[in-house]
Amino acid sequence: MKGYRWMLVLGAGVVLGIAASTVTAFRSSLVSTGRASDVHGEWVKYAGASGDTVMAYIAFPERSDAAPAVIVIHEIFGLSDWVRSVADRLAEEGFVAIAPDLLSRRGGTENAAQPRRVIRDLPPDSIRVDLDATHDYLRALRSVRTDAVGVVGFCWGGGRSFRYATDNPDLRAVVVCYGSAPEAAEMARIKAPVLGIYAERDARINANLAGVERAMRAAGKRYVKTVYPEAGHGFLRTMRPRAVAEEAWRDVLRFLDEELNR
């Protein structure tokens, strides 16, 4: 990927545990660059709304200059090992990647007996506030370029990333992986280009794609989507079919590189 000229944010949060994590074994499920790279990962916490605390996993690349950053929004299963591996993978590519646990207000993913049910009950306003807090935390770090922050989300998180684009005009890139879309009227507020990653065997999500494309075009927004053949919902996690998933991952990384490394 091209050389980056970004800045990271330091000093807006408190480190929960500085146990540097080597890149986890879960990264083997992602498309590999084939090059060796060390990544530093740690748990952090920072203030959300009304004094609440947001917990997050953040991964830093090895580089001497400030980096672009990506907020990673987890699936409906919560902040899993796989989501952390995505953050590690993005750090390998030169991005600072942070994955907030959006169940922090409810004790965190690890303490939730039924994460899927709890996530479904989260008030939309609290999700937005916690994502804003995450964005602010990143922009306070000296190792992050404040003008180069994007977001990527998967499944439930894909829908949240699309919606967050309507609320945060400072985002520079938005990736929606098989997630639902906001209302057409809300799309007019989107400033960043949006990449849609969808699976052929995902009729529930795909049923609305034509309308999403029309609405984004009518609003004058940059929206590029691909429906990957033979893939099902969640295929970037399962990596099935392998070749198709690897192609999709390359498309995601290329888009983030092009939009954030300007």
Residues acting as catalytic residues: 155, 202, 233
Q: Are strands 67-73 and 96-101 parallel, antiparallel or unpaired?
A: parallel
Q: Give the chain's end-to-end CA distance (angstroms, integer).
A: 12
Cβ contacts of 133 within 8 Å, gap of 6 or more: 46, 47, 48, 49, 54, 100
Place of tokens 């807090």: 133
CB-neighbour burial class of residue 140 (10 A; exposed 0-12, middle 13-18, buried 19+): middle
Q: Where are the beta strands (DSSP E) in 172-234?
A: 173-177, 194-201, 223-232
Q: Are strands 144-154 and 67-73 parallel, antiparallel or unpaired?
A: parallel
94: which DSSP letter?
T
With contact defined as beta carbons under 8 Å apart, do 41 and 87 qualify? yes
Q: Kindly state the tokens that stand for 237.
A: 């996690």
What whole-number distance in Å separates Cα of residue 255 and Cα of residue 102?
Answer: 25
Coil/strand/helix, residue 210: helix
